[in-house]
């Protein structure tokens, strides 16, 4: 592990521990269906404590970015993974296309919406936008057995607006229209709802064409602002 990762995670541990809130931690864990232990930090407190830990440290190189992310993922408390998502979003510009392998590892480990969604809509989004050849990986992920990779493929263009590859957006949604998992069905509706801000007619046409295949949840979410 790089020196930067060792120093940063050690600082984070100390800064987070000072703000630990056991009562809030119980509620936070329950909200996440008791899948992860928490320190009980609100997002505002976590980010304030992170700024203390980051003070004076240089920006990471790509290898250091990976080390920090994996070191945070190795920690038990969920706030470390949430910090890692913020850190990746801030510094993803230093990463090349191969970094998508690391992000895939994070998406499929300790998976839940609070880490998968920022990784999908910001980190993966940036990597694919800067390295278009990686759209082939999105094609793979859109049919993966792991539902979180499917969700990521569907959501990675969430903020692309006019630059959205509609063939892939609609293709992924159609491919997984009958998926049984709530999080995939929700992702379909969310992605379509966002794109409807750019091209509502296209989304209406897609919903009409696939009304018999899409779940009521996906249709309801996609139609909210139409």
What integer pLDDT is reported at residue 147 of this predicted model?
98
- Asked if residue 12 and residue 81 are part of one domain, the reply reads yes
Calpha distance 85→75 (Å, rounded): 14
Summarised one tens digit per residue, pLDDT across range 149-197 is 999 999 999 999 999 999 999 999 999 999 999 999 999 999 999 999 9
- Asked if residue 105 and residue 215 are part of one domain, the reply reads yes
- Asked if residue 133 and residue 81 are part of one domain, the reply reads no
Domain boundary among 53, 78, 95: 95
Domain boundary among 56, 78, 95: 95
- Asked if residue 70 and residue 108 are part of one domain, the reply reads no
Q: What is the 3-state secondary structure (H, E, C) of the chain?
A: CCHHHHHHHHHHHHHHHHCCCHHHHHHHHHHCCCCCCCCCCCHHHHHHHHHHHHCCCCCCCHHHHHHHHHHHHHCCCHHHHHHHHHHHHHHHHHCCCCHHHHHHHHHCCCCCHHHHHHHHHHHHHHHHHHCHHHHHHHHHHCCCCCHHHHHHHHHCCCCCHHHCCHHHHHHHHHHCCCCCCHHHHHHHHHHHHHHHCCCHHHHHHHHHHCCCCCCHHHHHHHCCCC
Domain boundary among 95, 122, 145: 95
- pLDDT (tens, 9 = 90+) of the chain, 226 residues, equals 999 999 999 999 999 999 999 999 999 999 999 999 999 999 999 999 999 999 999 999 999 999 999 999 999 999 999 999 999 999 999 999 999 999 999 999 999 999 999 999 999 999 999 999 999 999 999 999 999 999 999 999 999 999 999 999 999 999 999 999 999 999 999 999 999 999 999 999 999 999 999 999 999 999 998 9
- Asked if residue 22 and residue 8 are part of one domain, the reply reads yes
- Asked if residue 13 and residue 72 are part of one domain, the reply reads yes
Query: Is this model's pTM higher than 0.95 or not?
Result: yes
- Asked if residue 56 and residue 133 are part of one domain, the reply reads no
What integer pLDDT is reported at residue 10 of this predicted model?
98
- Asked if residue 126 and residue 182 are part of one domain, the reply reads yes
- Asked if residue 113 and residue 86 are part of one domain, the reply reads no
Domain limits for position 71: 1-95
What integer pLDDT is reported at residue 197 of this predicted model?
97
The rounded percent of the chain whose pLDDT value lies above 70 is: 100
What integer pLDDT is reported at residue 171 of this predicted model?
98
- Asked if residue 66 and residue 131 are part of one domain, the reply reads no
In the chain, the number of structural domains is 2
Say which CATH number the domain at 142 has: 1.25.10.90
Query: Which residues neighbour 12 within 8 Å (Cβ) at sequence distance 6 or greater?
Result: 49, 50, 53, 72, 80, 83
What integer pLDDT is reported at residue 45 of this predicted model?
98
- Asked if residue 106 and residue 214 are part of one domain, the reply reads yes
- Asked if residue 114 and residue 62 are part of one domain, the reply reads no
């Amino acid at each position: 592990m790089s020196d930067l990762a060792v120093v940063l995670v050690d600082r984070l541990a100390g800064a987070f521990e000072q703000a630990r809130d056991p009562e809030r931690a119980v509620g936070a864990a329950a909200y996440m269906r008791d899948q992860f232990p928490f320190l009980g930090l609100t997002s505002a407190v976590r980010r304030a404590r992170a700024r203390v830990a980051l003070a004076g440290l240089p920006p990471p190189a790509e290898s250091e970015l990976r080390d920090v992310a994996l070191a945070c993922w190795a920690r038990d408390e969920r706030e470390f993974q949430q910090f890692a998502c913020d850190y990746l979003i801030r510094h993803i510009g230093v990463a090349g296309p191969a970094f998508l392998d690391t992000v895939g590892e994070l998406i499929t480990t300790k998976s839940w919406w609070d880490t998968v969604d920022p990784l999908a809509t910001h980190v993966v989004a940036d990597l694919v936008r800067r390295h278009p050849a990686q759209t082939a990986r999105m094609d793979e992920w859109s049919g993966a057995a792991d539902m979180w990779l499917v969700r990521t493929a569907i959501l990675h263009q969430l903020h692309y607006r006019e630059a959205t590859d509609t063939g892939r957006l609609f293709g992924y949604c159609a491919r997984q229209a009958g998926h049984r998992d709530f999080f995939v069905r929700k992702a379909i509706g969310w992605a379509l709802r966002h794109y409807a801000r750019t091209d509502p007619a296209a989304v209406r046409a897609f919903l009409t064409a696939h009304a018999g295949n899409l779940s009521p949840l996906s249709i309801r979410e996609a139609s909210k602002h139409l």
